[in-house]
Structure 1
């Protein structure tokens, strides 16, 4: 897809209506199984953790339970660490990195912090390897009151009682080649605006909250992950995906203002991770491990700095 090639759905310069959304939806096909890839892993984890069904997605003939994994030794006197993955269903390592963290590392935090992990926020999109939900909405721009996205609304309900007790929130994402080949062109077509090509960064980076930046926290995450995979450099403009790089591998967004998942709590420490799975320098296993490593580094920093924020 280039800026000179119109998206195959819609009329250039005109936002989509219901007919265009329906046409887009008719072209989405199931490519993998949420039950086989995610629910089966969660079933194994029930022996060691509490599993909570916090909602259900219903899209025509498709129905998906939304599951969260919680510390079995939950204590009201401990802070909460929130981990979210699969807000964008196509970002595979976000889902599997969250599950890997639980399987391999969660036990080390028993009695120190309450863990709450929602590993696959958008299972419909996970199965179709897509960014949007079935209504052509981006859940990661929909975390706000009266959210139009079922996925976002369900997660907001889950964390509402805990919002002010969350110490650290790590939201696991990917930036992929398909962002430029498919998803950003689709977004421009849906909204009736010109598509302006961008550059996909080669490597891992994180997104801090510009309203409440925590540079030392972000630096600690980057330092841990660079032992696993490479960190994205800035482009020729000193930017990563159009935002100034404020430190190696770090950019900033106004998380809550944009309706992003990482902005849904009052956590003093929050970050969005971005792995690049299409790099010839990174395997799928490295990407999953990078995500799990980022979670550990984020929680470790937050626990070591309670009360200093």
Structure 2
């Protein structure tokens, strides 16, 4: 069946390869505390930029936030003379808090996420008993992207792909000839993302990954996480479609959908919950904002006992 969004993304990748549009410049900032890769991508002609999957530092024991990781991004953007148009989230992360609101204050840019964040808000709004003050319509974000939408980052075309499975709202942003794929897939020696969170689906994840791997083989894939697979000493967050199709230990060419679902389901049953899931989801489903302050003016993170 024809996939118009993949065709559009492939066409724009070819335009970059043919020199018709500029190739994006990417600088990655890795937060070892959360194993998160945040990316700043910009058009070399116009200096217009997007920040993807930023990290707000959070001390879980003390319940305190800080901006050290995000400040490094601010320093880079200002040093390079970039203008930030977008703060993009590939999904509502369960392993780190987003720094997007603070970065908006410092640098500007519209906050964008997949339109199915509304599904995530509905599910986790109930889990955390968020009450009627918590809007479940995605209004905390400036833009809710749907599959196949396109826009420009400076002179570079961008195609947005809906790639659910890890969560219902996962999006990949194909910017020029590079794809920022969030938590769908990891380095070839580490495999793929889990699919056992509320709203996750291993079968859907397989289909989303194979969709991404139908892009041209040389397409660069920028990942959101790395955990250093056994035998590898360095963190890595850049791979290609060709490498993933040949070498990914979970989903290389020849692995069937049923084989993947069986593997992923069995593996996920052995995994502990991410240590920052409780604060991360409560904040990120609000667009990176803390829960509404209570009568004393303080925001509180809830921990539902025996709920997850």
Shared topology, TM-score over 0.5? Answer: no
Higher helix proportion: 1
Q: Tell me: higher relative CO, structure 1 or 2? Use CA pairs within 8 A at least 6 residues apart.
A: 1
Which range, TM-score by smaller chain? under 0.3
TM-score, normalization: structure 1? 0.27
